[in-house]
Amino acid sequence: MSTKGRLFGVSLGPGDPDLITRGAWACLQQDAVWTYPKRNKKSDSYALDIVLRAGLTLPVEHQPLTFPMTHDAAKLAKYWLIAAECVLDYLQKGKDVMFLVEGDASTYSTFGHLMRTVQDLDASVENKIIAGVPSFNAVAACIQTPLSEVDDTIAIVPAGYGLNMLERLLMDFDTLVLLKVKPLLDDIILLLEKKGLLASSYFVEKAGSPEERVVNDVKTLYGEKVNYLSLLLIKNPHRQRGEIIRGCRKKSDTPHDTLSEIPAAEENIA
């Protein structure tokens, strides 16, 4: 009886080969099939480009998988199924499959859809996500700005939720990371200008790649068509904070000499 191969989501970081983790590097040394996403048959694979710039070469067995840029759920499901059937064919032959992922495979990644679709076809397939560096962490390092300090709050959302949602988030969080800003960039710039946040906002495109672009004067981007692989990191120095309860527990008026004396309601507080 043959043993099925395993499906790996290999996180490569946002573009700089130096951000490939040792775990991901080890996976790429294995005897396995490489698969990688493309937007269409004629486009290049950004994820594959990262590993090629790292000095690695394609293995004998490799397969591009097409995932079109569309919000049509039926069309996406069709392509996910085609990709999953292709991957499953390798797995059922006992071959491990590495799916190359830019950024982190658990964060807004195509790998999640592929993994679920493969599991729908064969629940016995073993999947493994190799953690990686997300784009927003690389961007914070690139602009030499911490994402958070002490009690700061962070929200990381796709910009497509709309301006009303973004305006509320700006009131509730110290740092706001907006992904997939391309369709709404002009509207977001106007919102940031209205809120007095242009000076504390950063636009970064293709972080860590040779085409990386960092723009602090984001108003200059108004009317420009930017790359899909771009984000905005917004700091809100004007946010009003509520009361913070510091420490893992509120202090009790009654001292407790031993752990056994801690009230049951407090025992499981993390």
pTM metric for this prediction: 0.84
Give pLDDT, residue 52. Answer: 97
CB burial readout 80-115, b (16+ within 10 A) else e: beebbebbbebbeeebbbbbbbbbbbbbebbbebbb
pLDDT at site 259:
38
SS3 of 14-70: CCCHHHCCHHHHHHHCCCCEEEEEECCCCCCCHHHHHHHHCCCCCCCCEEEEECCCC
Contact 270, 215 (CB under 8 A): no
Token output for 22: 């040792």
| Pairwise CA distance, residues 269 & 247, whole Å | 11
Question: Considering only CA atoms, which of 180, 102, 175 is closest in space to residue 145?
Answer: 175
From the centroid of its chain, how far is CA 142? 16
The single-letter code of the amino acid at 226 is V
What pLDDT, in 10s, does the model give residues 63-96? 999 998 888 889 999 999 999 999 999 999 999 9
Collapsing DSSP states into helix, strand and coil, what is residue 9?
Answer: strand
* Joined tokens for residue 75: 């069309």
Rounded percentage of the chain residues whose pLDDT exceeds 90: 76
Domains, the chain: 6-133 (3.40.1010.10), 136-235 (3.30.950.10)
Residue 5 has pLDDT above 80, yes or no: yes
In this model, does residue 256 exceed pLDDT 50? no
Looking only at the bridges linking them, the beta strands covering 213-215 and 97-101 are: unpaired
Mean pLDDT value across residues 236-245: 72
